Amino acid sequence: MKTLHYTLISMLALSLLSCKKDGKINESGKDSLTAKKDSVVIPEIHKEYYGIYTGDFAGMEKMIDDSDGSEFEANMYKKISLKINRITNDSVYGQSIVNGNQRPFRGVFNETSKSFVLDEPGNDKTDGRFEVKLNGDSLTGKWNAFNKTAVKAPVKTLKLTKKEFVYNPNFMLDKDSNLVDWSNPKDFVEKYTDSDTGKTESYTTSKNRVASDAVFRLNASKQKLAEKDLKNLRKLDLEIIKNSVFARHGYSFKKETYRNFFEQTDWYIPVSNNVDNELSPLEKENVALLNRFTKYAEDKYDSFGR
């Protein structure tokens, strides 16, 4: 009888344990069907507005005149993308991407005026508020920095167009692209000899890096590169060929040099500050080879006058 008693107790315990594992009994005493009913799903609205809006981000910045050191103001343009991910009755969620800085935002949508007020978190010195209006596939409006003294242009305007990001390994720089790196001039000491007096004088001149047309021939997203393809290239050539891979995947460049090159195209849309996991095995292999050659490559500098 004792054996039968212990057997019945064991069977009952196993039965209760099985019920808990199956979700039929929970700590609150509710079954799984009731628990599902208690979870609330917030409905999404206006999914037709979801997507990436990209374009000009412009603001007045103080500049220094190299000739006399005087200050002046100029309208400086950057490229920005606003990505709207989700809209509900009370909130809008998304992110802004500019200069390699990707920031989340949350805000509200006014259905009557078709306008958004979108706030970045505020824990970064570049955070601010977007106030933009929707007109078809365009977003226009302004951005105000929360910290007015932390950025060069605390008020900026936006003119954005909705674009669908597409990765295409065939994307290349346009043939008429300006291949000069205007962001990193370097001073060189030159000598000038007067033909009349024979006197030689030294002077300092500023020159800029310049790429070659190799950037239009080599595609590191499509062809397996070999050492013979790269050994005679300039350093800037190698940098552009490598970063074309990241540009095709929508990488938002922090370095102004690369932004200036790829923003000359109509296909470049910055959507992320990290695309490493998106690269194909071929692209990863080519990037590693390009990095090796970049370490030892030299640049060509030219003077560019009026």
Distance between CA 96 and CA 112 in Å, rounded? 24
Sign of the dihedral defined by the CA atoms of residues 178, 180, 181, 182, in that order: negative
Return the CA Rg of the chain.
29
Beta-carbon contacts of residue 68 (< 8 Å; ≥ 6 apart): none
Residue 38 pLDDT: 55
The alpha carbon of residue 160 and the mean position of all alpha carbons in its chain are separated, in whole angstroms, by 15
For 2, 12, 19, the CA distances from 5, given in Å and listed in that order, are 5, 11, 22
Tokens 């992320």 -> residue: 272
- The residues spanned by each domain of the chain are 47-163, 180-302
Predicted TM-score (pTM) above 0.75: yes
Compute the half-sphere exposure of residue 75: CA atoms within 13 Å on the CB side of its CA.
Answer: 6
Residue 24 pLDDT: 42
Q: CB count, 10 Å around CB of 253?
A: 21
The β-bridge relationship of strands 200-210 and 301-302 is antiparallel
Residue 57 pLDDT: 95
Residues of the chain with pLDDT under 50: 1-10, 12-35, 37, 306
Sign of the dihedral defined by the CA atoms of residues 287, 245, 52, 50, in that order: negative
What is the residue type of 186?
Answer: K
Please list the helix, strand and coil fractions of the chain in percent, rounded to the nearest 5, in that order: 25, 35, 40
The pLDDT tens digits for 101-153 are 999 999 999 999 999 999 999 999 999 999 999 999 999 999 999 999 999 99
Fold of the domain built from segment(s) 47-163 = Lipocalin (2.40.128)
The pLDDT tens digits for 146-183 are 999 999 999 999 999 999 999 999 999 999 999 999 99
Strand partners, 30: none
Strand partners, 190: 203
Say how many residues make up the chain: 306
What is the residue type of 243?
Answer: N
